[in-house]
Amino acid sequence: MAVNYNGLIDILKKKRLSLSQVSEDLNISSATRAKFKKGEYVSLQTIESLCKYLGVKINEIIMIEIEKKGSALLIQLKEEMKYGIKGSIYHETQILMTYNSNHIEGSRLTADQTRYIFETNTIGIDTDKIINVDDVIETQNHFRCIDYAIKMAFEPITDVLVKDIHKILKTGTSESKLEWFNVGDYKQRPNTVGGLETSKPENILKDMAKLIGKYENNQKYDFEDILEFHYNFEIIHPFQDGNGRVGRIIAFKECLRHGLVPFTIDEGIKQFYYRGLKEWENERGYLIGTCETGQDMYKKLLDIYEIKYNE
């Protein structure tokens, strides 16, 4: 992974500023200044401080150059998303990922209803059961999250990207009407996951910066690295609600980014998935094995559409 700071250099020139001057104002160390010159990754906190100082967005000053591993899957997903191809792997990915991720979080919509909403943008299915409006809204929003993950596949994980996914997922839901719920921003009230304490609201910025910084400083990425990020994200639990789905969307994006087969968690392996998260610190194999089973589910789609993948 190489980092390109040409955008930062151009902006400093336009503003008639020097890196040394800005570094002095922001108390940036000489070691960090050297990283800019060498094209090495700098912590997210430093990048965000620069953005605030210069009044620009992250993508205006930094570009991450990643070796694109000839991902036939990502190329096909992008093309089919762009043209709205029906019956495609993009089409089936949307339905598989959205139904499974929402269902294990309590959505009462069926797989057929999820498919119908995606294909027609209507609910129109005869049923004796009451349909929860939030389930429908979050299903539509999850489709948009998948689109966002595909579009942003090669972008680094940032604070802004994580918050954007949450905003897309929860906008228009009942919770979004609660001021303290903080859609698209980190939680204001303490919460738990599986009865376990998570990061306190006042520690979220620090904990997320540390998590993202450590992950983005990796030189190579494998499936275990993505799952380690996923576990730590869920332990931090940065949002008031929706953390599981946001975390799985990020994992989906990262699998696409690094040429790995995405995974999905359905009802059949849900309890093993939760056990894997709970036992990660003691035995990583539980979560890795469960998510490899989730990869096998997605490989069935790849096989149907004759898309090659790395074993």
CATH 1.10.260.40 corresponds to the domain 2-65: yes
Q: What is the pLDDT of residue 31?
A: 87
C-alpha span between 169 and 300 (Å, rounded): 27
Which residue in the block uniquely carries the two structure tokens 């096998």?
Answer: 296
H-assigned helices in 104-197: 111-120, 133-151, 159-170
Which range, of 50-64, 135-149, 207-221, averages the lowest pLDDT? 50-64
CATH 2.130.10.10 corresponds to the domain 72-304: no
Q: 45 vs 289, which has greater pLDDT? A: 289
Delimit the domains of the chain by residue range.
2-65, 72-304
The answer to whether 142 and 98 have CB atoms below 8 angstroms apart is yes
- 182-201 pLDDT, tens digit per residue, is 999 999 999 999 888 999 99
Q: What is the pLDDT of residue 293?
A: 98
241-to-61, 148, 210, 246, 298 alpha-carbon distances in Å: 32, 19, 21, 9, 26
Residue 2 has pLDDT above 70, yes or no: no
Residue 7 has pLDDT above 50, yes or no: yes
Mean residue pLDDT of the chain comes to: 92
Angle between the 72-83 and 89-103 helix axes, to the nearest 10 degrees?
A: 90
For residue 131, the SS3 value is coil
Of how many residues is the chain composed?
A: 311
End-to-end CA distance of the chain: 22
Spatial neighbors of 34 by CB under 8 A, at least 6 apart, are none
How confident is residue 127, by pLDDT bands cut at 50, 70 and 90?
low
Query: Rounded to two decimals, what is the model's pTM?
Result: 0.79
How confident is residue 66, by pLDDT bands cut at 50, 70 and 90?
very low
What's the whole-number mean pLDDT along residues 111-133?
A: 85
Spatial neighbors of 192 by CB under 8 A, at least 6 apart, are 198, 237
What are the contacts of 189-193 at 24+ separation with CB within 8 A?
189/240, 191/237, 191/240, 191/241, 192/237, 193/234, 193/235, 193/237, 193/243
- The per-residue DSSP string of 218-249 comes to -SS--HHHHHHHHHHHHHH--SSS-HHHHHHH
C-alpha span between 188 and 201 (Å, rounded): 6
How confident is residue 134, by pLDDT bands cut at 50, 70 and 90?
very high
